Structure 1
Amino acid sequence: MLTEFVRDQAFAIAWLSLMAAGWFGWSQEDPKPRLRGWLGAGSVIGMLLTVAFGILVWRNWSTPTALDGRYGVFVLVIVAEAVLIGGGCIVLARRKQTRWYGWWIGLCVALHFVALVWVFEDWSYLVLTIVQVIGLALMVPVLRRGMYQTSRWACPWIAVTFLLFAIVSGIDFLVKHGYPF
């Protein structure tokens, strides 16, 4: 996230780092064995960034936020995302295609950032969406041929893009603000 709101940027870095750690964890569902160490390292890096920037969120909680006057829209976006994810997973379960959960949820998560572009007035979320969706789309042919969980490739892709987005945003944050204690 690239914004003038200190709290929002610190929160986005902390949250996306935490989400990266979680997606790296989900990637452990059915990975290629040689990737386990890399996936674990990604989770650790995500958690370390979460703690570092979570402290900044706490210390800057009373500062202005782009969400002022938009909390309802933000909640609506999150609820819509959850309904879309849940509905899609129900359809996949009924079709006995649960191996596609990782890919489907990754797609829904990526697409919800389109709405957040307007909620936070931050076009960098659109870049994140485009990168994530292109990656997910490109892996469909390979995933269709495989018999493994789609989390093998979809979840690391979402995790890596979240972590890289958080790192770039973190560098931007540190250049603009330092690490304000």
Structure 2
Amino acid sequence: MITEFMRDQAFAISLFGLMVAVWFGMAQEDPGPKSRLRLWVGSAIGLIIAAAFGVIVGRNWNTPSALDNGVWWVFGATFIVMSLFIGGGAIFLKIRKRYRWFGWWIALCVAVHFAPLVWVFEDWTYLVLSVVQVAGLVLMFPRLKRAEYETSRLACSWLGVTFLACSAVSAIVFLIRYGYPY
């Protein structure tokens, strides 16, 4: 993400790097032919990004943050609401025996939850990420509806790719702006 707060930007890059590994890992539930190696490589790249920027976060923890403005509770509330939607949707899907839709549903809830974070972190790129992720998930819905494979194959891969792109762009901006601070 691209924000005026160095720690917040480094934290987002690190977290999104971790999310790259998580989402590519979830996509391995039912990977497409010949895609497992790409998913592994993507996960490894995500973990490298997470570690590199996690060090920056740790070394700069006492620097200013958008959360200092007192709206940290919105971040917590957003996370709780997202978790309730994920859980409620998973229960609904389980009752309806639509297990293969878990990946898509969780991805959709995660993608939507980034929109309100624009106000928490004072960073409009969260909205861009949310719109891109939701649009991709909506566009793949008809294809997934016709498919026999798990929705995680496409939905989780999509989130992995978008998190990788977002963390890479944000990392480049960060390194141009700050270098690699110690």
- TM-score in terms of structure 2 length: 0.98
Worse overlay, 67-76 or 165-174: 67-76
**Secondary structure in structure 1 of the residue aligned to 2:3:** coil
**Secondary structure in structure 2 of the residue aligned to 1:63:** coil
Which residue in the other structure is 2:3 paired with?
Answer: 3
Residues 1-181 of structure 1 aligned to structure 2 (within 5 Å): 1-68=1-68, 69-181=70-182
Q: Which runs of 5+ in 2 are unaligned?
A: none
- Aligned mates of 1:79, 1:166 — CA distance in 2: 24
Q: What is the RMSD computed on CA atoms of the aligned residues?
A: 0.6
Q: How many residue pairs are counted as aligned between the two chains?
A: 181
- Aligned mates of 1:141, 1:72 — CA distance in 2: 37
Which residue identity does 2:10 align to in structure 1?
A
- Aligned mates of 1:8, 1:109 — CA distance in 2: 19
Which residue identity does 1:99 align to in structure 2?
R
Q: By how many angstroms is 1:147 displaced? A: 1.4
Q: By how many angstroms is 1:71 displaced? A: 1.8
Q: Which runs of 5+ in 1 are unaligned?
A: none
Aligned-residue identity in percent: 57
- Aligned mates of 1:86, 1:2 — CA distance in 2: 31
Structure 1 stretches of 4+ moved >4 Å? none
Q: By how many angstroms is 1:35 displaced? A: 0.5
- Aligned mates of 1:158, 1:73 — CA distance in 2: 23
Q: By how many angstroms is 1:121 displaced? A: 1.1
Deviations 1:96-115 (A, max 9, x none): 10100100010000000011
